[in-house]
Chain A
């Protein structure tokens, strides 16, 4: 059975005013336990609305959201419990930091869960380690940290709740390449260690290609595609029609194939590209036409 799924979910904003618009239309998606799903779509395609449905921050007008086969809106008073199971890191999460120390801020979620002080301490320290925050930073004010550190502290704040589904909305936006690599690697490692289901919303096709097992493509509030990463990135023309694209390295390989080089068509990360190029070069001139 799928861990989390949506059944024919529809959502409208500002219903009944001149600004009414449909954010999601008949969205049915089901995600398995331990999957790493990338969510892509152009601006306004409904990505953010979709992920907010999953942890009950938005309520679908029609349709159901199921966690472990149970409707999360079955008892609206218990919706907080759903939010502990489905953790969500918003865009630019560093702007939500508020406590006096980083430790207290990361502890906010676990504290709301009503855990014991010992348990909270253990979780905060572990979460900080997972995102690569040094222990001495925990006693500092969150506002003394650098941009990248703040971002990681905010992500740790959600990880410390140990959610079964971790949703990240553009966790790498506005970071330098090193900060971006660090966060993506830590999230991937965390996902493999705890077998957590992860949804990563991103505009960077390179990021998605590096970490996702499956990719959900949203277009104008509907599901356009939901397939494995290599299948998605082999449909460059369809993606471009939706205002999206494929990773730069995939484009290069498409051009190479056009020129007649025998390279595989499922290259979408730099690592696979390197391997493919090495085989091509070792194979020598007889591969070229």
Chain B
């Protein structure tokens, strides 16, 4: 194939197709066959990426030959090419291009990022791999298209994007913790949150909030600016997480932040957006007259039920004032408090970054500011962040670098829901609408035991500031050509400062004011060494080994001071209080680990690897400190077999399987195995000591065995890709705070007695539906199912308000425990509950498990369309089969019995009123008597939903000298289709792991609209 021709020019101008191309091709063909023995000509060129940055190390090969070269550090190359020969330009992570050098002496090749998964670079535990060689179940997420969702932390933006990762944003307060579960939940008393690793630092993801905001807690993940994130990998199966050993059972989320590139001129990038958020709907409440009518009805009903009460129409509460009553129902006014407390909230976000590099240095410097007000006044969240990543080649064998993230996160906090004092929604939602916000003297007063809304908004003063540094220093050395050593030191430091002040206008501040200040510091340092070696034997055998160790230490300290009794409301600082108290806390937890991975690849066809990690934790019993977590995985690239090589419809096929053990100790106290006698039991000012915790010298790791099998298949030249995984996780030695007979003097005991299983599958489909130069349309869809089950739990455990959640063997975690309402008797108007033990009475024995928070399946659907400069991205998330307890409605459907103590929802208007009425809302009677029983199933609702999480429309304006100028509009949560009658089926009023799915006083996720600008030059 050594063709050579005399100079024939070929113009490769883009878009030059059509008749001319055919003509040229024809000429070409003629020339090719006629010409012979031509002399090679030197071709020079440059390879750049789509932003115009030079790409060093790109492989240039003359097609069909072994001749070739590699671009230098400036992306330039020089090669002798015979006329008519084609160049194949290829680089990992980019689409290979074939170029025929033309008349120009200098050739510029622009490589597009490879959208095909096969050659995608995937971050795995302590390394990277090409997608085609990945054995484990790892999902790589591109966070760009969900950045428009206005939440504080990136994890909340990922809902529906990753198959098998269930993310529930259970509040509309930006920067509050969301629930993230990778392949279900494995533990009752250890954490179920995944491990977050940011640039090699194990991130502290436990909230440092100490002040009460009604069950919710701030998210430490919100200290990370989503814009600094380059890529996210979610490691799901045991093969992928094995190297994280004791930390891996709940999955690992690896965050890689942006870095510069060697030999790239400075690239400046600016993103700015501004927008508004608003509640999509609010609760529908009774008017004053409707409320009064219900109270009267309840009054008369209870009089009929219990004649001794002497209640009848004549002495009903809402009768004419002249008769001593509170006035007739129709004379009652209606006061709107919700309108006062909800707002259209402004959102703004600005990011500016500069990145680039020289031959030996690369840098990324970024700054960001975001300010998000909540739709619920006066809550705000803002974050200012600064990032510097530097990498320096000391020689061609040694490289050092640093990653630094600084963030200051400020929050104006408030108790959204539960708790009478300071509760915004208790005051605004749960106060009866007929009650005036002022008393006879015209002064603002709280009603129903709650604060006054106006006074709350004027006087709320709860603030927190999180100062966060996450940094890493590494050095890498190529000791031998195939032997690489890396050491790194990481630090995650969080200084968390909280101040709350309650003045005398508020219940909490009664009578003379209350101020609390808390300062917490969480310090995690981690040191790691890894040594990796790779060797190829002959043409087909590739062998790699990695060994490493890490040492980690977490120290948490806290100092709290409280002041009570201020001379007047002008004094706010604790030092000016009449009485002050203080306390402090300290804890430490250490982890030492060794790990190794050995992999073997035969001819790119058969891949196998073994990993093991040993972890020693200070939390466990003296002889149980070390845990060993092995895994094995294998993959068969079937496409590489002869019988598939020529099947053109199938572009790739790989079958994978893995099995391994990972552990969990998250959330376990530092001294959990020790018998402790605490010194906090002071009595009358004198120090006191009392036993605190029973020793359990056998306390050990929670172990999760996981079996994963999967297949990756792509069709039609990667136009259609399917990834399928099926898994089974079984957790034994589950950490459980075992309830003891209280007569022993101890309430519980840390044990390893629970067993939990998770089984499921995940399916992800990607499709390029249409693609040409001006128009493209891609779709990606994912769906997952996880079946969770408590396999072993000696005694059921009750959780949540009014024991709404029960953990019981044979049922999923977080099952709802309710009295099942069968119907409302059309004759009597009374609720008929299922009487399980048939004793004729409804007792606690008739409570039953009825559904759980777990969906039957969940996932997301993304469609992206580009047409010339326009881009449209629409993203739907869905969940099916999960239940949610509408606790707001339980309180709000009290049917008049709570009278002036609680609001009544408009749904109570559909109550039974006369024989023959068919409804599921019974007639009003007493509180928690029969019809309005705590834990009734009437308020347990289907929480299935389909939600348009994000819709973005953008237009890229072509401007000279500017790489990118794009303007866009983005909307989040534009619609939600659900049968749930509350505001948001994802609402949950508590951040506690075992108390999910109870919706009480939670602001919904807002509907938002933003306009933005991306500028790169």
Does B associate with A?
no
- A residues apposed to B, CB below 8 Å: none
- B residues apposed to A, CB below 8 Å: none
